Chain A
Amino acid sequence: MEYRSQKVAYWYFAAALPLFVLQIFLGLYLAFSYTFTVPQSVVDVFPFATARAMHTNLLVLWLLLGFMGGTYYIIPEETRNELYSEKIAYFQLVVLLITGVVALVGFLFGWTQGRPLLEIPTALDIVVVVGALLFLFNVAMTMIQGKNWTTLQGTLLGGLVFLALLYLFGIPFYRNEVIDWYYWWWVIHLWVEGAWELITASIFAFVLMKMTGVEREVVEKWLYVEIGLFLFTGLAGTGHHYYWIGAPKYWLWIGGIFSALEPLPILLMLIDTMMHVRERKTEIVNRLTWTYAVGCAVLHLIGAGVWGFLHTLPQINYYTHGSQVTVSHGHLAFFGAYALLNLTTFYYAMPKLKGIAEYDDRRGTWGFWIMCSAMTLMGLTFGVAGVVQAYVERVLGLGYMTAQSYMRLWMGATLFLGVIFLLGVLTTVTDLLTLRPKVRAQA
């Protein structure tokens, strides 16, 4: 930690981690509901829909807290300047957390906008927007005061502004269901394949640069190419969500072609990570942080790149659209690209924030491998369930519940793997919150 105000980040990280744990508990309830019969009396009080809304909103909340914390950690070092205001940073954290808790409790009582992933009611949306504006103001002011502009800062700020702007498209009520979904994807797709990728790319570039000692010039050059490719493929690639919603036919072409290219920037990210490692100028002190960075690059490519590519061609998507294949992709991609990015940032920054130069990484390593193995296997079990569903329900036309009965075994396997994943998460979260310096064996 070089600047006092970077400490703010610690509280963002510490707030994000318990939410991550809670997210997994709800996920287990969802997998349980697929595998076993939940009695009518329970379904009446706590339906699957409520649990799903909580599971996905917790994901978004802890990821955003991680991004914000990561940003607050990075910008003082990048701008060589303390944060504009620590008070705003803490205030905004409290606002976001309260909004999150109110939203989650509200879901239990049916207070919802009723649109998947954007369930937060309009009244709370406004609070979220105010919080986001405070955050952007604080970040921008820090950068302006620092007067030390870099490509990395620009990308980060650009990504954050883009993220906030897109959120606005999710707020209004749309009369036409087709238009509703059209703009729903401006939030969801353009977040994860646009704004969030910009944020990821810049946070990742920062961590890489600091860990490997490779010159800024080289790192930022690749950053430009990556974000250029991300936006080139990602913006028009939104079209792969417009195949079956009642939008014109040309989206089949636009979506098909641009999303076929979507793995390229992610592949480039992996290659340039590897390149930087080979040319590293400094010793890598904390092996686990390093493992996380590489793990993130690899699973980002597999989960978002390869798994996405597998079902974005219209000819395939006609049968897999809205099946467990999508779920498989969603889990692998969010975990690989964003959960691991956040954990990489946490493992990079938290030891520094606690003044630990070299941390004991034995527990953390277990956590990493348990989580990654369990999630990779879950990607497969969800995937098999999805293929079974696509074939039985869509190709053979045997009906929804018939297909579900064939998938049950695989959803049960997912439930089991989910429990293993939870153990990995608990290990990781405990480790992060109680990091200890490495004890060197006496010579």
Chain B
Amino acid sequence: MTKKTAFWIFLIGTLSSGALFLGATYDTHRQVATLSHVDKLTDQVVAGKKVFEKYNCNDCHTILGFGGYYAPDLTKVVQRVGADGIRYRVKSPEKAFADSPRKMPRQNLSDQEITDLIAFFQWVGEVNNNDWPPQDSRKRISRGEQMMVATVGVSPGAAVFQSKGCMNCHSLAGTGGTFGPALDGIGAKLPAEAIEKYVRDPKGVNPKALMPPQKENLTGRELEEVARFLANLK
């Protein structure tokens, strides 16, 4: 190989890859408008992005998987802990993380800033990003539950019921906790949709309910499966 051949390898390699990259960049700009729902990208969302940057949240948390790795990913945080959950954590981190080995700084955000921040997270959470992160995926049930389905031969909903701590309070056929009501025959009283709604946020249905909301603990698929399982207990 001569130096001249080497030069051509350099030139062709660089130009071909560069052309592909720039072409794809052009097309990406076009498609991102749809994938990220630009129509919902309001001024409030932008204001929220500025809040996110002002307090340097991103050097502890990741968002879309980028940033510091010291705190949970925030891509789907609204779906995971809800708007109130975010408000509580940002407003009083010293209370929210009192028992946690890892603390979040008190940064004294105004209520307006928190509201904007939530709008920003809401928007990011709806970006069509190939269903990442896996732990917040609405399509899947966890690997532990899948194992139970495969090895013990239970339904996915039963696996969720057993592995997500429902039986710490509730019982079935005399097995389980007594803090909450026994759930035998619950399907005769309520349809799956009503059960799902209740499990998601009990206080939303009955303000006096003692049961903690499960929308943080369970994925959409898990909620759906556990509701279907309970609705079949007739």
Which residues of A247-269 are within 8 A (CB) of B? 247-252, 254, 258
- The chain A residue with its CB closest to the CB of B9 is A228
Are A246 and B20 in contact (CB-based, < 8 A)? Answer: no
Q: Tally inter-chain residue pairs, CB-CB below 8 A.
A: 232
Given A116-B66, A231-B13, CB of A224 within 8 Å of CB of B46 = no
Minimum Cβ distance to chain A for residue B5 (Å): 8
Q: How far is the CA of A239 from the CA of B32 in the complex (A)?
A: 15
Residues of B contacting A322 with CB < 8 Å?
Answer: 62, 65-67, 69, 73, 133
- Contacts known (A33-B70, A233-B17); A244 close to B130, Cβ less than 8 A: yes
Q: Are B52 and A114 in contact (CB under 8 A)?
A: yes
Q: A243-B132, A244-B129 known; A326 and B11 CB under 8 Å? A: no
**Residue contact B134 to A179, C-beta cutoff 8 Å:** no
Instruction: Return chain A residues, CB-CB under 8 Å to B124.
Output: 177
Cross-chain contact A116 with B64 (CB below 8 angstroms): no
Q: Interface readout for B171-213 with A: 1 if CB under 8 Å, 0 if not?
A: 0000000000000000000000000000000000000000000
Contact status B49-A177, CB under 8 Å: yes
Given contacts A113-B53, A224-B3, A400-B72, contact A235 B17 (CB under 8 A): yes
A177 to B17, CA, bound (A): 26
Known: A235-B14, A247-B35. A116 touches B58 (CB 8 A): yes
The docked-state distance in angstroms from the alpha carbon of A177 to that of B121 is 10
B28-A248 in contact (CB<8A): yes
Interface size for chain B: under 10, 10 to 19, 20 to 34, or 35 or more residues? 35 or more
Chain A 291-323, CB-CB to B under 8 Å as 1, else 0, gives 000000000000000000000000000110111
Q: Which segment of A97-105, A391-399, A418-426 sits at the interface?
A: A391-399
CA distance A184 to B67 in the complex (A): 11
Picked from B17, B130, B142, the residue with its CB within 8 Å of the CB of A396 is B142
| Interchain nearest-CB distance for A270 vs B (Å) | 18
| Nearest CB in chain B: distance from A195 CB, A | 13
Are B35 and A178 in contact (CB-based, < 8 A)? yes
Across the interface, name the chain B residue whose C-beta is closest to A174.
B49
Binds A, one of B83-91, B98-106, B148-156, B225-233: B98-106
- Inter-chain CA distance A393–B56, complex, in Å, is 24
Do residues A49 and B11 form an inter-chain contact, with CB atoms below 8 A? Answer: no
How far is the CB of A414 from the nearest CB of chain B, in Å? 13
Q: Does B64 lie within 8 Å of A114, measured CB to CB? A: no
Residue of B nearest to A222 (CB): B6
- A37-B101, A258-B17 as given contacts; A248 in contact with B35, CB under 8 Å: yes
A112 at the interface (CB under 8 A from B): yes
CB distance A397 to B219 under 8 Å? yes
Contact, CB under 8 Å: B65 / A244? yes
**Residue pair B143, A395 in contact (C-beta under 8 Å):** yes
Q: Which residues of B contact A395 (CB under 8 A)?
A: 134, 142-143
List of B residues within 8 angstroms of A326 by Cβ: 69
> A182 at interface (Cβ–Cβ under 8 A)?
yes
Tell me whether A401 and B102 are in contact (CB under 8 A): yes
Q: Bound complex: CA of A43 vs CA of B101, how far in Å?
A: 12
Contacts known (A53-B59, A236-B21, A245-B129); A224 close to B6, Cβ less than 8 A: yes
Task: Determine whether the beta carbon of A248 is less than 8 Å from that of B17.
Answer: no
Residues of B participating in the A interface, judged by any CB pair closer than 8 Å: 1-3, 6-7, 9-14, 16-18, 20-21, 24-25, 27-29, 31-32, 35-36, 38, 41, 46, 49-50, 52-60, 62-73, 93-94, 97, 100-106, 120, 123-124, 127-130, 132-135, 140, 142-144, 219
9 pairs of A and B residues whose beta carbons are closest in the complex: A114-B53, A322-B65, A228-B10, A49-B59, A232-B13, A397-B142, A244-B132, A224-B6, A228-B13
Tell me the A residues contacting B by CB distance below 8 Å: 30, 33-34, 37-40, 43-44, 47-50, 52-53, 110, 112-116, 119, 151, 173, 175-182, 184, 217, 220-222, 224-225, 227-229, 231-236, 238-239, 242-252, 254, 258, 318-319, 321-324, 326-327, 393-401, 404-405
What are 26 A-B pairs at a CB distance below 8 A? A39-B103, A40-B94, A40-B103, A49-B56, A49-B58, A49-B60, A50-B59, A52-B60, A110-B55, A177-B124, A178-B127, A182-B28, A224-B7, A224-B10, A225-B6, A227-B14, A235-B21, A238-B21, A245-B65, A247-B31, A252-B130, A318-B132, A326-B69, A327-B69, A396-B142, A397-B219
